[in-house]
């Protein structure tokens, strides 16, 4: 008896790389190094996920041991509501060129593959610097 054939098996193995799943591919590639880096900053209490999008790394950030607050900012949240997964997570619809929080608010800022989509990326970096606490960490990945 033939059970499914090769197509279901190929889809099971390759699904992250199929059209419509680029975020899953990114998670596979970027997840392990990001986990290693996050272990170095496990003392981060307040974290900003800058350009959070659909929340690709939200669950990973929420696992940070000392996390008190995860603020996820994305311009798209101004026009649609993403569902938050727990009470420590706060979703903000705003541009990274005008982050609506006080100075030195975050111990850690994660900003992956978003700066290349911002026309005034220098203003965005200035804002990230402004909201990052002295001695805080910026983890970023920029695609060229």
* Contact status, residue 27 vs residue 52, Cβ threshold 8 Å: no
- Domain-embedded: residue 21: no
pTM above 0.85, yes or no: no
What is the C-alpha to C-alpha distance for residues 143 and 116, in angstroms, rounded to an integer?
Answer: 7
Of 54, 14, 63, residue with least CA distance to 34: 63
**Each residue's pLDDT tens digit, 21-75:** 556 666 766 777 778 888 888 889 999 999 998 888 898 899 888 999 999 999 9
H-type alpha helices, 41-74? 58-62
- Domain-embedded: residue 36: no
Domains in the chain: how many in total? Answer: 1
Report whether pLDDT(134) > 50: yes
Report whether pLDDT(136) > 60: yes
- Domain-embedded: residue 127: yes
Q: Which two tokens stand for residue 93?
A: 């619809």
Of 77, 39, 43, 73, residue with least CA distance to 58: 73
- Domain-embedded: residue 83: yes
Report whether pLDDT(102) > 70: yes
Order the strands of the 89-92 sheet from edge to edge: 89-92, 69-73, 46-50, 106-112, 132-141
- Domain-embedded: residue 6: no
- Domain-embedded: residue 8: no
DSSP symbol at 142:
-
So what's the pLDDT on residue 1?
41
CATH number at residue 82: 3.40.50.150
What is the C-alpha to C-alpha distance for residues 23 and 113, in angstroms, rounded to an integer?
Answer: 11
């Amino acid at each position: 008896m033939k059970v499914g054939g090769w197509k279901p098996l190929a889809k099971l193995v390759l699904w992250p790389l199929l059209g419509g799943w680029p975020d899953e591919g990114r998670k596979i590639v970027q997840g392990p190094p990001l986990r290693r880096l996050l272990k170095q900053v496990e003392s981060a209490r307040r974290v900003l996920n800058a350009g959070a999008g659909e929340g690709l790394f939200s669950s990973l950030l929420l696992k940070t041991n000392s996390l008190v607050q995860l603020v996820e900012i994305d311009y798209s949240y101004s026009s649609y509501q993403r569902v938050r997964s727990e009470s420590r997570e706060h979703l903000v619809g705003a541009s990274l060129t005008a982050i609506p929080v006080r100075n030195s608010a975050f111990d850690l800022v994660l900003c992956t593959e978003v700066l290349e989509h911002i026309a005034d990326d220098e203003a965005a970096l200035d804002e990230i610097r402004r909201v990052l606490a002295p001695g805080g960490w910026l983890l970023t990945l920029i695609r060229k």
